[in-house]
Structure 1
């Protein structure tokens, strides 16, 4: 039994080591113009980054525009060090905001049996929706508990 447990743990560890991390939206090795258009299209489509806030969407658009103006038709490597640093900072901002939005927009599906039924139903929600539902439930529970405490003291 301990041998099969050891083999199972080894398989889990090796599988997690082989999983490659998600690639950032903006990569220096690829042409900026193509990446810029792809990111704008993904933001317009609303599927990959469906949970991005309006302020973050605006910040991404502004950073992309600043990068496009700085790089132009050339290459970021050819820029003077100060401008290259600004482009790099904007690139980090875009990657951070879009990575967070992509993670929040990830769809998670669960099969659950509703009360009174034996037939499972698939329920899919984004990670952000699940978080909002959890926060709402916590706040409602706190509200109910505070209401009982107030009534108990009266």
Structure 2
């Protein structure tokens, strides 16, 4: 798999039906390794190892309804009070991050109402803080660490 713009992490792999699978520590199972899954697994490691987000607050690939359509978000991080702190959209490295990518995460966030957004293809990462009052998002240079949310575990 392609080298991504993250620190180096160690992963567990296995062969499954002539395909490589990677172990997802959040879903606690092996997932077929696609380019997008490679990005997703790096982001999970980034969140837990670099930003100190507890694994128990991270949720991966769950169904949501948007305008009566079934969609799947990639990753969300909850706050201890159950509100959504962070919504993440993962793309494969060869997928360019475009305005349509931001439109997609913004549509998802109309339902989810996360305080922060992250969009990444593993090579380019974009972080935003929501400004619900003015209906826009403000770009950040990095995500806040979990402790900065003023919640103690």
- Computing the radius of gyration from Cα coordinates, the structure with the larger value is 1
Higher normalized strand content (fraction of residues)? 2
The answer to which structure has the higher helix fraction is 1
TM-score grouping bracket, smaller chain normalisation: under 0.3
TM-score (norm 2): 0.26
